[in-house]
Amino acid sequence: MTKTPLIMPDAPFLKEHNEDGQLFSPSAERNLGPIIKQLANHVPAQGTALEIASGTGQHVATLAKRFPRVNWQPSDIALDRLRSIEAWRKTVRLDNLLPALQLNAAGKWDDHLTDLKLIYVVNLFHLISEKDAVAVLKGMSDSLGNDGRVFIYGPFKEHEQYRSEGDARFDSNLTAQDPEIGYKDVAWMWRQMKDSGLGRVEQVEMPANNLSLVSQKIVESPV
Ligand SMILES: C[S@@+](CC[C@H](N)C(=O)[O-])C[C@H]1O[C@@H](n2cnc3c(N)ncnc32)[C@H](O)[C@@H]1O
Return the residue whose CA atom lies nearest to atom 26 of ligand 1.
Answer: 55
Gap between the terminal Cα atoms of the chain? 48
In the chain, count of helices (H) and strands (E)? Answer: 6, 10
> 215 or 6: which carries more pLDDT confidence?
215
Alpha-carbon span 210 to 207, nearest angstrom: 6
Please give the domain boundaries of the chain with CATH numbers for all domains: 15-155+184-216 (3.40.50.150)
Give just the sign of the alpha carbon dihedral 4, 141, 114, 28. positive
Q: How far is CA 144 from the centre of its chain?
A: 14
How much is the pLDDT for 221? 80
Indicate whether 41 pLDDT > 70. yes
- Stretch 130-157: mean pLDDT: 98
39, 124, 129: which to mutate for ligand 1, most atoms within 8 A of CB?
124
State the Cα–Cα distance between residues 105 and 86, nearest whole angstrom: 19
Write down the mean pLDDT value for the chain. 94
Residue 9: its pLDDT value, please?
62
Helix (H, G, I), strand (E, B) or coil at 97: strand
Q: Is the pLDDT of residue 73 over 60?
A: yes
Q: Count Cβ atoms below 10 Å from residue 179 Cβ, excluding itself.
A: 9
Residue 12 has pLDDT above 90, yes or no: no
Q: Tens digit of pLDDT for each residue in 95-112? A: 999 999 999 999 999 999
Q: Over 70: is that where the pLDDT of 115 sits?
A: yes
Q: How far is the CA of 202 from the centre of ligand 1 (A)?
A: 23
| pLDDT at 160 exceeding the cut of 80 | yes
Query: Are 213 and 185 a contacting pair, CB within 8 Å?
Result: no
CA 48 vs CA 56, 95, 143: distances in Å: 20, 13, 11
Distance 53 CA to ligand 1 centre (A): 4
pLDDT score for 22:
92
Contacts 24+ apart (CB under 8 A), 170-176: 170/9, 170/126, 171/126, 173/9, 174/6, 174/126, 174/127
- pLDDT band (50, 70, 90) for residue 10: low
pLDDT score for 1: 47
Q: Look at residue 74 and tell me whether its pLDDT is greater than 80.
A: yes
